């Protein structure tokens, strides 16, 4: 009878224990590999939202292989915003200008300018002082054949006379604004002044104690010389001196 080894039964369970140790080690290694892979995936951008999730995601750029140049991404043009208030293809209609309201026309008749004040008429041979110190008189009234020497003048029968201005004051008297007019006939038609023959304008002023003269010619038809009116407007603000009478034909 062969004697049994006392350690035999204990050694029969050794292979089974080593097997479980290898299985446990493999599980640990697999778990470590999975954990490392998950960590690497997250660090490379794999932690973004999944397909179907809301929100914008940043695309992951994959490095190009060695020796291959990366292709530049072409930007996608954005369409300009469309103003929905204006229909496409229609131009805005400009607003019509607003015309200012016109004032209602007055129904009142036009007011004529007030006539210039005149002194009472005197004969053609008299002297008149429109203001103290200034004396106006007419002399040498005669019929002549008027000559057209300037624009608008018409030659024809005319009257010529000499106008005298005497200064009895102590200061010079200006004659730059003196105006002479002639009217004739029943309708008192205005006469046109001429330069010839022998017209002489008044000087610009008359010295104290002096007398100056000017020669004037006006076209007056012979048939209207029974009623001749000669006006001398010495200066602004002074009444007009008026001489009336019949003139030579």
pLDDT digits (tens, 9 = 90+) for 161-214: 999 999 999 999 999 999 999 999 999 999 999 999 999 999 999 999 999 999
What length is written for the chain?
Answer: 249
13 pLDDT higher than 60: no
- Is 157 domain-assigned? yes
What mean pLDDT is predicted for residues 152-166? Answer: 95
Greatest mean pLDDT among 3-7, 95-99, 103-107 lies in 95-99
- CATH classification at residue 193: 2.60.40.1240
Task: Tokens for 118, please give them.
Answer: 């005149």
Q: What is the full DSSP assignment across 36-63?
A: HHHHHHIIIIITSPPTT-SS--PPPPPP
Closest C-alpha among 137, 202, 210 to residue 170: 210
Strands 241-245 and 179-184: unpaired
- Is 231 domain-assigned? yes
CA distances from residue 17 to 22, 50, 55, 118 in whole angstroms, order as listed? 9, 44, 53, 154
- In this structure, are residues 204 and 247 in contact, taking their beta carbons and an 8 Å threshold? no
Number of domains in the chain: 1
**Domain residues for 157?**
127-245
246 pLDDT higher than 90: yes
- In this structure, are residues 160 and 179 in contact, taking their beta carbons and an 8 Å threshold? no
């Amino acid at each position: 009878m062969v004697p049994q080894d006392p350690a035999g039964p204990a050694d029969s369970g050794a292979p089974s224990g080593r097997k479980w140790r290898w299985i446990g080690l493999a599980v640990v290694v697999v778990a470590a590999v999975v954990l490392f892979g998950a960590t690497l995936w997250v660090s490379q951008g794999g932690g973004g939202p999944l397909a179907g999730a809301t929100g914008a995601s940043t695309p992951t750029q994959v490095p190009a292989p060695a020796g291959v140049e990366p292709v530049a991404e072409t930007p996608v043009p954005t369409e300009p915003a469309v103003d929905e208030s204006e229909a496409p293809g229609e131009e805005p209609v400009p607003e019509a200008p607003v015309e200012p309201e016109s004032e209602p026309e007055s129904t009142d008749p036009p007011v004529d300018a007030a006539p210039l004040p005149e002194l009472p008429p005197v004969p053609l041979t008299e002297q008149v002082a429109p203001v103290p110190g200034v004396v106006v008189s007419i002399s040498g009234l005669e019929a002549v054949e008027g000559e057209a020497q300037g624009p608008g003048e018409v030659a024809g029968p005319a009257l010529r006379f000499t106008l005298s201005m005497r200064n009895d004051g102590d200061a010079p008297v200006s004659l730059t604004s003196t105006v002479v007019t002639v009217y004739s006939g029943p309708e008192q038609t205005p006469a046109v002044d001429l330069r010839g023959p022998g017209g002489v304008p008044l000087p610009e002023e008359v010295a104290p104690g002096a007398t100056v003269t000017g020669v004037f010619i006006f076209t007056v038809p012979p048939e209207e010389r029974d009623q001749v009116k000669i006006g001398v407007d010495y200066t602004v603000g002074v009444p007009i001196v008026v001489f009336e009478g019949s003139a030579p034909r």
